[in-house]
Amino acid sequence: MSASTQPANRGSAPSAPVMGQPHLPVENKGLLTLAIMGAAMIQILDSTIANVAIPHMQTSLGATQDTVTWVLTSYIVAGAVVMPITGWLADRIGSRRLFIGAVIGFIITSMLCGIAVNLTEMVIFRVLQGVCAAFIAPLSQSILLDINPPERAPKAMAMWGMGVMVAPIFGPMIGGWLTQSYDWRWCFYINLPIGIPTVLILLWLLPSRAINRRYFDGLGFAALAIGVATLQLMLDRGQHEDWLESWEIRIEAIVAISAIWIFFVHQATTKKPMFDRDLMTDRNFTTSLIFMVMIGIMMFGVFALLPPMLQSLFGYSVFDTGMLLAPRGIGILISMLIATRIAGKVDPRKTVAVGFIITIASLYEMTRWGLMVDWTYVLSTGLLQGFGMGFVFIPMNQLAFATLSLKHRTDGSSLLYLVRSIGSSIGISLMSTMFARNLQTSHSDLSSHITSSSMSAIDPATADRYQVLGEAALRMVDLEVNRQAAMIAYLDDFQLMMWGLVIFMPLILLMKPPKGPPGQMPHPVGE
C-alpha cells in the first residue's frame, strides 16, 4: 500500500504522540527523509548561492547596480509574505499536495530564472520562486517530525538542522565555483538534477495529514503580510537609501510598524485568529522565537561580513574564501551529531547554554583579529563558532516544540522559520550599517593622527611640493588608513554581536525542560 493512501492520511493517526509510533507511518522512511532533505537543501541553497553571481547577472541582464539587487530582494520579500499561511494552506489542501506542489513549482521557477533574458523576467521568476520556497522549509521540518516516533524526534531535527545551518555556508562557495567555471545560470540549473528525483520519491512515499478546512483570517494575514513585506523591503534598502534620511524608508517604517501593530491587536482580540493563541502563550515557543531572531542576526551577520573582509582586506579569492568559511559547516555537523546523541540524557537548556558560551568565545577571538592574522586562525575560529552554533540549534528546536500540541507543528515551524528569516535580514542590514558608520568614524580618528611627527618618510603638509611622488605617497597613506579603519569597523561589528548574545543568553532560564522518556519531544496529552 502506498504511503499516500495509508490510514494516517484519513486522520486516523493519534492526536498525541505515542512512544515507538510516528504520527504519520510511512514506507521506506530513510528514502523519504533523503527526499525531504533534498528539497529543503536546494531551497536554502538558493537563498545564498546567487549572491556571488550578482555582478555577472548585472551585465547579462542589462541591469544597473541599484536595480540588480531586486534579484535578491524579490525572493526574500515574496517568501516572507506567504510563509505565515503555510499552516492554514497545509490544513486546507493537505500537507502532501502543498509540499509536492511547492517543490515542483520551485524546480520550474528555477529553470525559468536560468533562462531569463532581462531583469523584469528575472524579478518575476524570483518572486514565484520565493513563494514556492516559503512553503518548503517549514513543511519539511513538520513532516520530519510527523514521520518519526517521538523518541527519534531529536535526530530528525538534527538532520533538518544540518541542512538549514550548513547550506547557507556552502552556498556562496558553490555559487562562486559554478559562476567561474560555467555560467551564473547554473546557480539555478543546479536545482534540476537534485529536484527531479526528489519529486519522484515524494510522489511515491509522502503521506499527508488529514484535511482540516479551518477558518482563514483575511485581516490578520493582510496585516502580517504587509508588515513583513515592508519591513523586509526597508531592511534591504535602508543602507542604500541612508535610512531615515530617505522618505522611502520613513514611509516603509511607518507602514511596517502600523501593520504589525494591527496584526498583534487583531490576533489578541478576534475570535478566530490566524494563529492559535496557544502558540503565543506557550513560554518555550515564544522564547524560542526571540532566540531564532538572535540566531538569524548573528549567523547571517557573520556571513555578510566575512566574505568581503577576507576578499578585500586579505586578498583571498572567492573560492578560497568559501574554503575558509567551510569549517563552520563542519563544526555545525559535529556538534549537531553530539547534541543528537545526548538528547534526552542532558537538559537541553544546558546544551544551549554551552553552545552560546562557545559561540561567544569564538566572537571574542574574532574581536582580536588584525590585518596580519594567519588563515589558520580564521579557519580554527570558524570551526569553533560552528561547533557552538550546532549546540544551540538542535536543543532550541527541541525546547520550542516540547510543549506544543501536534496540531500546532506546521504553524509553529512556519513562525520559527519566518522570524529566523527576519532576523537574518536584520543581521545583514544592521551589520552593514554599523560597518559603514564605524568605517567613517575610524577613518576620521586615524586620519587625525597623520601628522609630520607620526610619519618619518614624508611630511603630509609639504607632500604637494613633490608633485606626482607626493600624491602617490599620500594615496598610499590613505589606502593604509582605509585598510586599518575597515579592520576596526569589522572588529566593532564582531564585538556588537558578541555582547548581543551575552545579553540575551539569560532568557534560557525562562524555558521549561522537556518531560518524558529520553529523546522524546512530548506534547500535551489529549490535544
Distance CA 179, CA 181 (A): 6
**What's the Cα-to-Cα distance from 184 to each of 108, 174, 308, 326, rounded to whole Å?**
17, 11, 19, 21
Give the end-to-end CA distance of the chain in Å, rounded to a whole number.
29
8 A C-beta contact, residue 523 and residue 404: yes
Q: Would you say domain 278-527 falls under CATH 1.20.1250.20?
A: yes
Question: In angstroms, how far is CA 31 from the centroid of its own chain?
Answer: 26
Residue 329: closest CA among 392, 395, 385: 385
Q: What sign results for the dihedral spanned by CA atoms 404, 15, 142, 264?
A: negative
User: Quick check: helix, strand or coil at residue 21?
Assistant: strand
Q: In whole angstroms, what is the distance from residue 14 CA to residue 10 CA?
A: 11
Give the pLDDT confidence score for residue 513 in this predicted structure.
77
**pTM exceeds 0.85:** no
Cell of 88: 492554514
CA distance 362 to 339: 19
What are the angstrom distances between the C-alpha of 17 and each of 10, 146, 221, 407, 448? 17, 9, 30, 11, 67
State the pLDDT at residue 175.
Answer: 78
pLDDT computed for residue 278 by the predictor: 78
Residue 95's pLDDT is what?
86
In this structure, are residues 74 and 126 in contact, taking their beta carbons and an 8 Å threshold? Answer: yes
Report the pLDDT value the prediction gives residue 455, as an integer from 0 to 100.
56
User: Does CATH place domain 28-152+163-214 in 1.10.10.10?
Assistant: no
* 18 beta partners: 21
Burial 64-97 (b: 16+ CB within 10 A, else e): eeeebbbbbbbbbbbbbbbbbbbbbbbbeebbbb
Per run of 10 residues, the mean pLDDT along the chain (length 527 residues) is 41 48 77 88 78 75 74 80 85 89 94 89 90 88 82 73 71 76 86 91 86 81 88 81 85 93 89 81 86 83 82 79 80 84 82 92 92 88 90 82 76 82 81 85 78 56 53 69 88 92 89 60 36
